[in-house]
Amino acid sequence: MAITVPSRDAPRRVTILGSTGSVGGNTLDLIERNPDCFAVEALTAGGNVALLAEQARRLRPRRAVIADPGRYRDLADALAGTGIEVAAGEAAVTEAAAMPAEWVMSAIVGAAGLEPTLAAARRGAVVALANKECLVCAGDLLMREIAAHGATLLPVDSEHSAIFQVFDFVHAERVEKIVLTASGGPFREFDLAAMAKVTPAQAVAHPNWTMGAKISVDSATMMNKGLELIEAFHLFPVPAERIEILVHPQSVIHSMVAYVDGSVLAQLGSPDMRTPIAYALGWPNRMPTPAARLDLARIGSLTFAPPDPVRFPALRLARQALQRGGGAPTILNAANEVAVRGFLAGGIGFLDIVAGVEETLATVAPGAPASLAEFRALDAEARRVAGEVVRALAARV
């Protein structure tokens, strides 16, 4: 599709799906620093009415949507007299994604972001994808819709943005492998006994990045890297066996692409999500950000190590799900969302998260879903089984 580069003469119209989360907030920060370059079509949020209303009053979108239908009146009251359209419910979020914004940030956490992302893709929008679960749950479906409708998919995860910036799509056969880097999370040096005692408060305190609770827990279990492995498989034309994971605690090198001549191209930067967001927001141009500039002399050294498969079995489960194919990645994601929720609520232990995912994967048949309805049905079944597994694990605590 034709891309309109942001300019004072033609501001890029944008929609933010998940505006009250970390990625959504950082996106709005960049937009507010460049008010002449962007105009906001719609903002959506899950249940944080106060923050959504505050953002809407500042950014003046055409529409503000809260996914929780029970909060409609609260949002309507908060925005009374502003002239901003107000809506509520999951269907309303999908409708917001279908509004005529050229650029859509998909930052709704979890499988809930799939249908709105598909709606944006089906009208040929530029989709900035911060929701890795869309590709994990239904990668074949989403990529097929992107191609069929002439949409553009720009990865926003720091790792995939890094790869996108240095990947030779014209000569993909010259790529030898992709290397996804991982911070290793806060527990990369813990033994299993210490990990068994980890609390939710410890798990959400990421050493390098500021993220939401669910994503922070995924980083701590390294499930996030497993999900990113599946995401990379769909984004880049490289076989799964040639996608590697490397622990890099400093989070300076965000990922690498190795070529057949021995060259390795990497994208480096300080750990600030505004950098990959800005790359997608300004694409195909670059735009300034307030991110701290990288000072390699001050950092002094960068270290790397292979991930420990015993302490971080989530990586094995993700590879197995990708190899198994069909709906296995859908089950993996659904079970993980349920298990993480159980951990954050204090019902199960930290090590029970991945154990619960593994048991769910062994119980639910993956089938071969091809439509959105089939993915939804499998996702619902996986969540039902995972809920039973989590309750059983909680009973043992």
Q: Are residues 250 and 366 in the same domain?
A: yes
Q: Are residues 196 and 336 in the same domain?
A: yes
pLDDT of residue 5: 42
CB atoms within 10 A of CB 338: 23
**Does residue 32 lie within any of the structural domains?**
yes
Q: Are residues 120 and 177 in the same domain?
A: no
Integer angstrom CA distances of residue 144 from 153, 154, 226: 11, 15, 22
Does 187 score more than 60 pLDDT?
yes
Q: Are residues 104 and 209 in the same domain?
A: no
Does 344 score more than 50 pLDDT?
yes
Domain containing residue 68? 12-156
CATH code for the domain in which residue 344 is found? 1.10.1740.10
Integer angstrom CA distances of residue 240 from 51, 135, 229, 249, 294: 40, 14, 8, 24, 31
CB atoms within 10 A of CB 138: 31
pLDDT of residue 4: 39
Backbone angles phi, psi at 230, to 5 degrees: -65, -40
Does 192 score more than 90 pLDDT?
yes
Q: Are residues 181 and 111 in the same domain?
A: no
pLDDT of residue 300: 95
Does 8 score more than 50 pLDDT?
no
Q: What is the pLDDT of residues 275-327, one digit of tens each?
A: 999 999 999 999 999 999 999 999 999 999 999 999 999 999 999 999 999 99
Does 9 score more than 70 pLDDT?
no
Does 200 score more than 50 pLDDT?
yes
Q: Are residues 103 and 134 in the same domain?
A: yes
Amino acid code (one letter) for 120: A
CA 205, distance to chain mean position in Å, is 18
> How confident is the prediction for the chain on average, in pLDDT?
94
Q: Are residues 233 and 378 in the same domain?
A: yes
- What 3-state class would DSSP assign to 88? strand
pLDDT band for position 215 (cuts 50, 70, 90): confident
**Does residue 273 lie within any of the structural domains?**
no
Q: Are residues 239 and 323 in the same domain?
A: yes
Q: Are residues 77 and 124 in the same domain?
A: yes
CATH code for the domain in which residue 88 is found? 3.40.50.720
- Which position has the higher pLDDT, 5 or 284? 284
Residue that finishes a domain, picked among 156, 189, 204: 156
Q: Are residues 104 and 179 in the same domain?
A: no
Q: Are residues 137 and 178 in the same domain?
A: no
Residue that finishes a domain, picked among 104, 121, 156: 156
pLDDT of residue 111: 82
By the 10 Å C-beta count (0-12 exposed, 13-18 middle, 19+ buried), 166 is classed as middle
pLDDT of residue 207: 67
**Does residue 229 lie within any of the structural domains?**
yes
**Does residue 2 lie within any of the structural domains?**
no
Specify which residues 85 forms β-bridges with. 63
Residue that finishes a domain, picked among 128, 156, 184: 156
- What 3-state class would DSSP assign to 364? coil
162: left (phi over 0), alpha (psi -120 to 50) or beta: alpha
Mention every residue, 6+ apart, whose C-beta is less than 8 A from residue 245.
Answer: 179, 180, 181, 182, 225, 229, 306, 307, 315
**Does residue 6 lie within any of the structural domains?**
no
Backbone angles phi, psi at 103, to 5 degrees: -125, 130
- Which position has the higher pLDDT, 111 or 382? 382
Does 159 score more than 90 pLDDT?
yes
**Does residue 295 lie within any of the structural domains?**
no
**Does residue 47 lie within any of the structural domains?**
yes
Distance CA 230, CA 278 (A): 24
Q: What is the pTM of this model?
A: 0.91
**What's the number of domains the chain is made of?**
2
Count of CA atoms in the C-beta half-sphere (13 A) of 156:
29
**Does residue 168 lie within any of the structural domains?**
no
CA 19, distance to chain mean position in Å, is 13
Q: Are residues 325 and 249 in the same domain?
A: yes
Q: What is the pLDDT of residues 79-137, one digit of tens each?
A: 999 999 999 999 999 999 999 999 999 999 888 899 999 999 999 999 999 988 899 99
